[in-house]
Amino acid sequence: MAKLPTIAVCYLAGVDSTQLDERRGPSRITDALPDHPILDMRDRAPADLGDNERARMADVEIAFILDMPDYIFEAFPNLKWIHSLKTGHDHIPLDELRRRGIRLTNGAGTAATEIAEFVIARILEHWKRLPQIAAQQAEHRWYPAFGRALSDCDIVLVGYGPINQEVARLLAPFNVKLTAVRRSADAPSPGADRTVTFSAMIGALANADVVVAAVPSNADTTGLFDAAAFAAMKSGCFFVNVGRGTAVVESDLMESLSSGHLGGAALDVTSEEPLPADNPLWDSTVRISPHSSATLANTMRRVHDLFIRNVGLYSAGARLDNEVEI
């Protein structure tokens, strides 16, 4: 039997301490891959390892990461594949992976359902005026605060990857009109009533009651939502960003809100994270959540299931699920 590749688990233990316990204890990975040698590097650098563990670093072919460890290339000279828990890969030096012939997979889609639920919760919170109703209850004040219907709204989903596809699926019972904005208008867009390219986004925003952004961070999306984009949106539009904070010019967003043009906004991501305490976003009308629209237990279960499935594909010499073309 061929020797199985050694796996180094390098994400922070605090991300999910239940999924990979100490090597001597039960865990999803060790139970699913009992014959694979596993080097536990959660919250540890090479200098923290014992002599026997350091001797095994040269055998590591697979690294399971969250953030990119600064030691990874030096510590694992025979590394062949990196799996990142994150959806994006802007934190990964793709040129270096290409040079070293290292494959890359990511966690795209593993948190889509819970993030989509969060998006819909924010939309309903806004349209149904739930904060106002809660404030009136605290004041013991009976005053009708009627919301508006979500049905028949025009919703524009910018970026049509797993998150916004799941938003579309969950919105189907509300009988909304959905426009998908993506790189190719010819690509299949399940759940969308129409599809336009990014070059046509400004025109699509004109009728939008809600805009949901779920785009990756790259040169094309940085500053995508600026003063011109917000001005193009229908007056009273509600804006949600669950993709990357770099897509939004936050000063332009706040200006559009303060002018009364936008009806509201919710950000689960910001251009700087953690958001500094003195950032003016905190004191604006923006609904802010600290990059927490996913549900950790469900997401990590899917992350591990994806990784375990991919280990089997890797051992079989097959193409990996969620493999990034680098």
Q: Which amino acids are annotated catalytic?
A: 244, 273, 291
Could you tell me the two tokens for 170? 């969950």
Pairing of strands 154-158, 60-65: unpaired
Task: Identify whether 69 is preceded by a cis peptide bond (ω within 30 of 0).
Answer: no
- Residue 164 burial (C-beta neighbours within 10 Å; 0-12, 13-18, 19+): buried
Instruction: Name every residue whose Cβ is closer than 8 Å to that of residue 273 and which is 6 or more positions away in sequence.
Output: 245, 290, 291
Cβ atoms within 10 A of the Cβ of 321, count?
Answer: 13
Nearest to 284 by CA among 247, 308, 259: 259
Q: CA geometry: angle at 219 spanning 216 and 222, to 5°? A: 65
Nearest to 156 by CA among 117, 193, 187, 188: 193
The letter for the amino acid at 161 is G
Nearest to 258 by CA among 287, 285, 235: 285
